[in-house]
Structure 1
Amino acid sequence: MSGLDRTLFRAEAIAPETAEFNLKLRELLRDRPGPDAGGVGLPLRPPEPSERARTIRIAGRDGHELALRVIAPDHPKGVYLHFHGGGFIGGGAAQSDRVLDRIARNTDLACIDVDYRLAPAHPYPAAWDDAHTAAMWLIENAHSEFGTDALAIGGESAGANLAVSVLVRLRARHGSTGFRAANLMFGNYDLSMTPSQTLLGADAVPVSTDVIQRCTSAVAPRREQRQDPDLSPLYADLQGLPAALFTVGTLDPFLDDSLFMHVRWTAAGSPAELAVYPGGTHIFTAFPILLADQANGRIDAFLRRAGRGPDEPTAGLHRQ
């Protein structure tokens, strides 16, 4: 599953269970109303709050308070900073409890999700600034709060965009990211739209081209800003970034985003792994199928290594 193998993209590569689930998912969504400003209309179970979760509140930019939701083992080996998905317009940190409970249990990492501000009430750069603020807080406080400086970062969909943009900001402004690893799941790295966002998205579930366009218009209403490297990190200088794992399914409208970003990450001299899953739709890792178990197992193994590897220097990282 590592690297780019053309057989992964053939119809016969899709397992029967995955194909059957995708048909059921399409049937489930057939009569659902379209997305509105409150979310992207994904058929996920309601969040189940973790009994282990607690909230840390820190000062954000512009005088607002930023909430960090924490799920941690008793003696963390590292810390994983996660940004939830939701197309920049929906979701919240609590929706990640099930995912972060699993990661904390399987990796011994303390896990943090960020309640960043959402569009359209807060368009770009609000979410990006909140993500940067959370990363700087963690770099400065990880040892005192969690007893470790071993840091990983990541997210899914819109959250993967924020994670990469944070890494680029830290490297550009401070000369070092402070993070060892990046777990990047089916990210949207080009808000001006890669080809697959329209070609696969035209008939995609659960996220279609129409949904993508509505989310993009909410967070980045001006078309001329959508290739800004801070907003669309596919266009950024990716040198000096940590090891990354890119996870994506072959039926995801953001397939090209991960394929292109993996190549650019590697060409910039940064370590990168690419995991492509036949028949995987957008956010397939959240669904009760074997394909999700396979992908989540690889993600957990990748993050476990982040808690054991050599530290990336964090000296000289100061708030800006």
Structure 2
Amino acid sequence: MPLRLDPADLAEARHLNRKLAWMPKFRPRGRIKAFLMQGVMRAQQLRPQPYLQRLDVRVEMREVVFDGGRILVRILRPNTRPKGIYLDIHGGAWIVGNARCDDPCNAMIAAECGMAVVSVEYRLALDNRLDLCIEDCRKVAFWLVENCMSEFGTDRIVIGGESAGAHLAACALLALRDAGQASRLAGAVLFYGAYDLSGSPSLRAAGPETLVLHGPSAFRNLKRLTADRSDVERRRPDISPLYADLAGLPPALFLVGALDPLLDDTLQMAERWNAANGNAELTVVPEAPHAFNRLKTSIAVKTNAYVRRWVNRRLEMLTTIRTDKVA
């Protein structure tokens, strides 16, 4: 069932968009600016999180050791035995953010889907080391696939990410596929990702008037993070999933706002994913800017609920398939 929005939802979004047009936009910049933004974010995170107790979700930090790497993960556990695991990769243009940023959405997934949520504290690309971000997320993905039963008592895994996190999730998915492990995944949820690091047409055309995310700054950020590559080299599959062979990947839900400068990334990625696998669902949300599911709107509430329903359906379908095989 598709995401259903009514005229009141769209009217509310248009009203907020008029306010957003006058508000400061997220401008991904260099090391010093990113460090300052990270400090402000961490200060804001000192506030309590009463919704975790209300949802009866427990939080723990854990160090994962895999293939010579040591990566922190933030684990949100439901109050029952997990029915599955949601591997979350946070966004932030690869240079800001942390796993706790995703607690509001992840806590709802833990509570309503009955899943353990594992969110990756990957190394940020403050020194333009995009490869380290990719490496950490891949290692956690492989660790989870190999240890899911012993750690969580389930092997039903969904991987998800937003913005830069969707890019990193796609990179991890491709690494698992190449290692013959993609069949272990129940699905993928990819919000407004950047899959072409040379800059998709919509990002290249984005002006300073874009909402939430400053289009020209986002494009310059891609250039800075890949300064050692030409545009042709930026399209190599090792960093640009859009140009990879996408065959053999699990069912995926792609979501993007119609006003997002990264719109073309999602449109093209969903089209290529479907051409290779026939199992991608695309949702383009009207009147929605970048990070729209984080805004205080009815569209955000309905979209996040839709994602949780999609995840629950994937878990149910996997149960049905396994039951049929046993029978």
Q: Same fold (TM over 0.5)?
A: yes
> Does residue 72 of the first structure (1) align with residue 72 of the second (2)?
no
**1:70-100 superposed Cα distances (whole Å, 9 cap, x missing partner):** 0011311000001000001110111111111
**1:180-209 superposed Cα distances (whole Å, 9 cap, x missing partner):** 100000001111011111224542121122
> Does residue 55 of the first structure (1) align with residue 61 of the second (2)?
yes
Aligned residue number for residue 151 of structure 2: 145
**1:211-230 superposed Cα distances (whole Å, 9 cap, x missing partner):** 21343234322232311112
**1:279-301 superposed Cα distances (whole Å, 9 cap, x missing partner):** 10000100110111121111111
CA RMSD of aligned residues (A): 2.8
> How many Å apart are 1:46 and its aligned residue?
3.8
Q: Which amino acid aligns with 1:95?
A: C
Aligned residue number for residue 278 of structure 1: 286
Give the direction of change, closer, same or farther, for the CA distance of 1:297–1:14 in structure 2 (3 Å limit).
closer
Indicate if the aligned counterparts of 1:14 and 1:278 stay in contact, CA closer than 8 A.
no
For structure 2, the residue ranges without an aligned partner over 5 or more in a row are 323-327
Indicate if the aligned counterparts of 2:128 and 2:226 stay in contact, CA closer than 8 A.
no
Q: What is the distance in 2 between the residues matched to 1:207 and 1:36? A: 16
Which of 249, 257, 262 is 2:257 aligned to?
249
For structure 1, the residue ranges without an aligned partner over 5 or more in a row are 314-320
Q: What is the distance in 1 between the residues matched to 2:224 and 2:154? A: 38
- Quick one: higher RCO (CA 8 Å, sep 6+), 1 or 2? 1
Q: What is the distance in 1 between the residues matched to 2:179 and 2:198? A: 25
> Does residue 172 of the first structure (1) align with residue 178 of the second (2)?
yes
Indicate if the aligned counterparts of 1:84 and 1:93 stay in contact, CA closer than 8 A.
yes
Secondary structure of residue in 2 paired with 1:67: strand
Q: What is the distance in 2 between the residues matched to 1:35 and 1:23? A: 25
Q: Normalized per residue, which structure has more helix?
A: 2
Name the % identity.
Answer: 36
* Matched positions, count: 304
Q: What is the distance in 1 between the residues matched to 2:65 and 2:224? A: 25
TM-score, length of structure 1 as denominator length? 0.86
Aligned residue number for residue 325 of structure 2: none
Q: Which amino acid aligns with 1:227?
A: R
Indicate if the aligned counterparts of 1:285 and 1:293 stay in contact, CA closer than 8 A.
yes
TM-score, length of structure 2 as denominator length? 0.84
Q: What is the distance in 2 between the residues matched to 1:195 and 1:274? A: 19
Which of 301, 304, 312 is 1:293 aligned to?
301
